[in-house]
Structure 1
Amino acid sequence: MTEKPRQSFAGLWNISFGFFGIQIGFALQNANMSRIFQTFGANIDDLPWLWVAAPLTGLLVQPVIGHLSDRTWLGRLGRRRPYFFAGALLAALSLFAMPLAPALLFAAVMLWVLDASINVSMEPFRAFVGDMLRKDQHAAGYALQTAFIGAGAVVGSIFPWALEHFGVSNTVVDGRIPDTVRYAFWFGGAALFLSVLWTVVTTREYAPDAMAAFDAPAETQDPARPLATRSYAASAAWLAAGALVVWAVGQFGLEKEVYLLGALLLGYGLASAVAIALASAGSATNMLSSIVGDFSGMPLLMKRLAVAQFFSWSALFIMWINTTPIVTQVFYGAANATDARYQQGASWVDVLFATYNGVAAIAALTLLPFLAARIGQARTHIVGLLCGAAGYASFFLMPDRHWLLLSEVGIGIAWASILAMPYAILASSLPQKKLGIYMGLFNVFVVMPQLLVATAMGSIMKRFFPGEPIWTMAFAAGTLVLAALAMTRVDRLTRNLR
């Protein structure tokens, strides 16, 4: 076994700089897609369904890209960098096309394409940090990556607001997307491509023989159990769960979007059954069997972190969908996208999102390393999650829009922790040769809660809080508390493993 060379600050910078541009594109999407959909006439109750393309795409794309990138080697182009480049090119083209959308359907389709492209670039970046850094630099690597995420999100979130203050039109004319949003998306496309290109050009990946010599003991940790020895009981359970969800939609009059959740459960049950059948027939090395086998054979630490991720990202997706309707309705008194006050409120959401991302960038480099060195990474994450819960709950207490900036401070600390701590904990415990697939599978627990929110939250709100989107913040606060409780089990496990 040999040790990886220690990276300098410049090396850490080059490894993660591409995330700066990726997050500019992601932030533009998060802060403006509800606004774009409502500009084209979408009802507030339709927003979760329109947003569902983004997490669904991530669910399908990231495990596949993780599996493929683990097995890719293109000489000087490397293992992960070909995926960075291809995803960045497609995402940049999508950002250029989005503001030209002539109608709601085109915008929804472009969101799907944009998110797929971002996921192709983003998933290998998580594994790239683990590939390139020794274990004692993982926390620093993911912290700097989080700082770039925060900085990129500040730029992406604030850009439409800044353009308005430089005199660019922020009004809807003849049903067209405002100029502030159009120009911001075009800027974001260029920034995303160039920043990822920087990482591609300035880094060199370790060749397969060098990687095989690094961290050799980790290769034998928690191998996935062979699928060929498993029964179909788990597959049947997934199929039954999917059928139950589909039945419940009709039985209880749930929103039709919930059918998608049932379809996904049925789909995974069918996929797992096919994977077991292929493995039993002697074809255990195919992609489907490999992905299903690694998913069901995840290490215990990853399973416990996955529970915390599930609840954390439920809260985040609630925020991304509902902040614009909440701010425009509650703090600006406008629910119609053609109202000038609505566009002013939507621009203030850009400021709020820039604030929490700016706080995240600062917290990732200062607060989180300070706490992690003193109380450990798991307990630091617990503190961060509770700060986020307080930020969401405070929406009910703020007397005007300016006080919401204080709410975003707590949310920003949580965002920094969610982006850094779980990945730092995870990367140090995973087999090196499966880092890509496990990072991709870990994203399932980022995506599934988003799909659950997109499909079920509309039914809950329509039934219990019709026309009052602010109550979604209570759900967001509650799920972060549950995430913090889940992290206590991670904390106990990491202490026992020392």
Structure 2
Amino acid sequence: MNKRKLSFWEIWNMSFGFLGIQFGFALQGGFMSRIFQTLGASKDDIPFLWIAAPLTGLLVQPIIGYLSDRTWSPRWGRRRPYFLIGAVFSSLALFFAPHSPALWVAVGFLWILDASINISMEPFRALVADKLPKSQRSYGFVVQTLIIGIGTWVASNLPWLVSKLGVSDAAELGVVPMSVKVAFAIGAFVFLTSILYTVFTTSEYPPEDMEEFEKEKAKKNQFIPDILNNIGSMPATMKKLGVVQFFSWFAFFTLWSMANPALTEHVFNAPAPIETNYNLEIPDQLNAYNTANTAFQKASNLVGSYMGIYGLSSMVFALLLVLYTSRRRINRKYVHMVSLILGGLGFLIMKYIPSHEYLALSFILIGFAWGSILSMPYAMLSSSVNPKKMGVIMGIFNMFIVIPQIVAAIGGVVFISNLLGEETINAMTVAGISLILGGLANFLITNKKAITYEIENE
């Protein structure tokens, strides 16, 4: 099929739902650990409490990719039904998560939230490859990254902004502050409305050969064999990108799960108070606990706000790439390599900064890595796979995202960090080393079409 080139605004409309998806991811990544700590989780337990997220992605994304490849509705298309289903459940989970009365309930909401976000997100990646000619795919994934950057920055600042507007950061023992509850409610609204915008402003191409499509769709009990067959026959470029992805996503899982305890403790000197260290029946001790808890909540707002900078930085990075790739080719391999190494340096300097203001520099550098992670691997991959299987291939590729997160969650982060010492900030050092290794792993990529797409090959 000869696909026409789309305008910037057509690509923007088809990608706009990612604003809501990133609201969900940013609130989850920036504040779920804070919710866990507020409900009594110890910092060493936090990575394991996050295991629901990558486990869900491991199961959901290949399934959704497979199903969306075999879905077609003249009215709703192929990918859009999954956007909408995921958005409804994500919005409900976002709204209710900060109201969790107990730690296990919050973990359950994280599971539902991540599963629902994955239902919406995976088809978005496939939609870019469905709709755009190969010469525009780098451009399309970079526009997605631009929107993701906007969502990350705004959502990460929501609790801080809501607090500045007068909503309280103080709360009773084991209760999430109202500022976080309001921020998550706003996120739920944005998630649903942005997905609806894409659903109603974007059309999809029908299958090229409808007769063949219906035959494939009619085949029964082919899911597991097809998934296994696609895993066994994955292109060499996909395997090599998997190595890059492993180190990249190990680093970012470490950021999402451990940044709040690490930075509130090391940079802001306001760790989460431990209930057993206080006799809450004594008024002075109760006041001391409440003071420490409020300081922790305010420091957590600032950690979230600083984390938003990497969204802003990735947005600027993506904007520059949009302007460049709209007219010229880029070497995706070297762009990705340099970006990951810069992000790794951003993590490494966190341990040595003299005051919290310098966190802005760390997260600017991390934003370069994030912007590249969300665009370059997918652009390289989409030039190396069968377009008829784009949904299931993107789902399988996302296994290279969730497997490193599972490794990190079941003890990888805590074990490696403890090799460097007992300070929680060592987790950020581990993230930095991992990201630099991911950057160097780009030397494995040798497929010329993946590295730089030749327009004359269209």
Per the normalisation by structure 1, the TM-score is: 0.82
Alignment-derived partner of residue 323 in structure 1: 259
CA contact (8 A) 2:33 2:257 kept: yes
- The question of whether the paired residues in 2 share the 8 Å contact of 1:21 and 1:196 is answered with yes
Could you tell me how far apart the structure 1 residues matched to 2:330 and 2:161 are? 39
- CA distance in 1: counterparts of 2:377 and 2:404, whole angstroms: 16
Distance in 1 between residues matched to 2:85 and 2:94, nearest whole Å? 15
Aligned pair partner of 2:331 in 360, 370, 376: 376
Please name the residue that 1:202 is paired with. Answer: 201
SS of 1:171 mapped into structure 2: coil
Q: Which residue of 2 aligns with 1:288?
A: 224
Which secondary structure state, in structure 1, belongs to the residue aligned with residue 172 of structure 2? coil
Where does residue 302 of structure 2 map in the other structure? Answer: 348
1:358-380 Cα offsets, whole Å, 9 max, x none, are 01011011057649957511111
1:206 alignment partner AA: Y
Verify the 8 A CA contact 2:330 2:452 in the aligned structure 1.
no
Contact 2:135–2:453 (Cα < 8 Å) also in 1? no
Q: How many angstroms apart in 1 are the aligned matches of 2:318 and 2:250?
A: 21
Q: Work out the CA distance in 2 between the residues paired with 1:465 and 1:496.
A: 39
Quick one: structure 1 residues 284 and 200, their matched pair in 2 at CA, closer, same or farther if it must change by over 3 Å?
closer
Contact 1:368 1:380 in 2 (8 A): no
2: CA distance between counterparts of 1:182 and 1:497? 45
Distance 1:143 1:423 in 2: 10
Partner of 2:281: none
- 374 and 69 in structure 1: CA distance in 2 versus 1, 3 angstrom threshold: closer
What SS is found at the alignment partner of 2:119? Answer: helix
Look up the match of 1:226: none
Name whichever of 5-14 and 372-381 sits farther off.
Answer: 372-381
In the superposition, relative to structure 1, how do residues 433 and 398 fare at CA in structure 2: closer, same or farther (>3 Å)? same
Structure 1 regions of 5+ residues with no counterpart? 214-282
- Counterpart of 2:35 in structure 1 is 36
Amino acid of the structure 2 residue aligned with 1:31:
G
Q: Does 1:310 align with 2:246?
A: yes
The farther-off stretch of 463-472 and 375-384 is: 463-472
Could you say what secondary structure the match of 1:139 adopts? Answer: helix
Alpha-carbon distance, 1:322 to partner: 1.2
Residue matched to 2:344: 389
Q: Tell me how far 1:38 sits from its aligned partner.
A: 0.4
1:397 Cα shift? 2.1
Q: Identify the residue that residue 317 of structure 2 maps to in structure 1.
A: 363
Contact 1:92–1:193 under 8 Å retained in 2: yes
Q: The residue matched to 1:76 in structure 2 has which SS? A: coil
Q: Does 1:297 align with 2:233?
A: yes
User: Which deviates more from structure 2 when the two are superposed, residues 472-481 or residues 191-200?
Assistant: 472-481
Say if 1:360 and 1:210 are closer, same or farther in 2 by CA, change over 3 A. Answer: farther
Deviation per CA, 1:4-48, whole angstroms, max 9, x where unpaired?
A: 011112210111000001101110111100100000010111101
Helix, strand or coil for the counterpart of 2:204?
Answer: coil
Offset of residue 286 of structure 1: 1.4
Cα distance between partner residues in 2 of 1:212 and 1:314: 43
Q: Distance in 1 between matches of 2:372 and 2:66?
A: 26
User: Could you say if the C-alpha distance between residues 150 and 497 of structure 1 is closer, same or farther in structure 2, counting changes exceeding 3 Å?
Assistant: closer
Q: For 2:82 and 2:57, how far apart are their aligned partners in 1?
A: 15
Provide, for residues 192-224 of structure 1, a one-character-per-residue CA deviation record: whole Å limited to 9, x for no partner: 0000001101111111137999xxxxxxxxxxx
The AA in structure 1 aligned to 2:380 is I
User: Using the alignment, how far apart are the partners of 2:319 and 2:339 within structure 1?
Assistant: 14
Indicate yes or no: 2:183 matched with 1:184.
yes
Q: Note if contact 2:333-2:451 (Cα within 8 Å) is conserved in structure 1.
A: no
- C-alpha distance in structure 1 between counterparts of 2:24 and 2:334, whole Å: 31
* Structure 1 stretch displaced more, 484-493 or 76-85: 484-493
C-alpha distance after superposition, 1:386-409 (max 9, x if no partner): 110110111122101111111111
Provide the C-alpha distance between the structure 1 equivalents of 2:251 and 2:323, rounded to a whole number of angstroms. Answer: 24
Deviations 1:55-79 (A, max 9, x none): 1100110000001100111221111
Structure 1 Cα separation of the partners of residues 435 and 418 of structure 2? 23
- Structure 2 counterparts to residues 224-303 of structure 1, below 5 A: 286-303=222-239
Evaluate the alpha carbon distance shift between residue 188 and residue 495 of structure 1 in structure 2; reply closer, same or farther with a 3 A threshold.
closer
Alignment of 1:452-471 (within 5 A): 452-457=407-412, 459-460=414-415, 463-465=418-420, 467-471=422-426
Match of 1:473 among 414, 428, 432: 428
1:47 counterpart residue number: 46
Paired-residue identity, %: 43
Counterpart for residue 173 of structure 1: 172
**Deviations along 1:444-498, whole A, 9 cap, x unmatched?**
0000000111112355157535641111122111111211121112146556997
Number of aligned residue pairs: 428
Distance 1:427 1:406, change over 3 A: same
Distance in 1 (alpha carbons) for counterparts of 2:330 and 2:73: 42
Q: Please report the RMSD computed on the Cα atoms of aligned residues, expressed in angstroms.
A: 2.1
Equivalent residues of 2:329, 2:453 under 8 A apart: no
- 1:438 paired with 2:393, answer yes
Match of 2:377 among 404, 419, 422: 422
Aligned counterparts of 1:187 and 1:495: Cα–Cα separation in 2 = 40
Residue identity in the other structure for 1:156: A
- Contact preservation (8 Å) 2:244, 2:441: yes
1:411-470 CA-partner distances (Å, limit 9, x unpaired): 000000000111111112221110000000110000000011111235515753564111
Residue 45 of structure 1 contacts residue 458 of structure 1 at CA under 8 Å; is this kept in 2?
no
Gaps of 5+ in 2: 213-218, 274-289
- Comparing 121-130 and 369-378, the one that deviates more: 369-378
Task: For 1:121, give the aligned amino acid.
Answer: S
Point out the more displaced range, 2-11 or 12-21: 2-11
Which secondary structure does the structure 1 equivalent of 2:369 belong to? helix
Give 1:96 shift: 1.3
Aligned to 1:77, the other structure's residue is in SS state coil
CA distance in 1, matches of 2:143, 2:453: 26
Quick one: which amino acid aligns to residue 136 of structure 1?
A: S
Partners of 1:212 and 1:149 in 2: how far apart? 37
Q: Which of 354, 368, 378 is the matching residue for 1:413? A: 368
2:99 counterpart residue number? 100
Give SS of 1:469's match. Answer: coil
- 8 Å CA contact 2:139–2:322 kept in 1: the answer is no
CA distance in 1, matches of 2:29, 2:154: 13
State how far apart, in whole Å, the 2-side matches of 1:349 and 1:463 are.
23
What's the CA shift for 1:97? Answer: 1.3
